[in-house]
Chains A and B, each alone.
Chain A
Amino acid sequence: DVKVTQSSRYLVKRTGEKVFLECVQDMDHENMFWYRQDPGLGLRLIYFSYDVKMKEKGDIPEGYSVSREKKERFSLILESASTNQTSMYLCASSLSRGTYYGYTFGSGTRLTVV
Chain B
Amino acid sequence: AQRVTQPEKLLSVFKGAPVELKCNYSYSGSPELFWYVQYSRQRLQLLLRHISRESIKGFTADLNKGETSFHLKKPFAQEEDSAMYYCALSSGRKLIFGQGTELSVKP
- Residues of A whose CB lies within 8 Å of any CB of B are 31, 33, 35, 40-45, 48, 50, 58, 90, 92, 94, 96, 98-100, 102-103, 105-108
A98 near B45 with CB under 8 A, answer no
Given contact pairs A100-B49, A100-B51, A105 touches B44 in the complex (Cβ within 8 A): yes
B94 near A41 with CB under 8 A, answer no
B86 near A99 with CB under 8 A, answer no
Give the complex CA separation of A106 and B43 in angstroms.
6
Interface of B is mostly: strand
**Inter-chain pairs besides A58-B94, A102-B46, A103-B95, 11 sampled, C-beta below 8 Å:** A40-B9, A40-B99, A40-B100, A41-B99, A45-B95, A98-B90, A98-B93, A100-B51, A103-B36, A103-B46, A105-B44
Q: Given B88, B92, B98, which contacts A98 in the complex, CB threshold below 8 Å?
A: B92
- Residues of B whose CB lies within 8 Å of any CB of A are 4, 6, 9, 32, 34, 36, 43-46, 49, 51, 86, 88, 90, 92-100
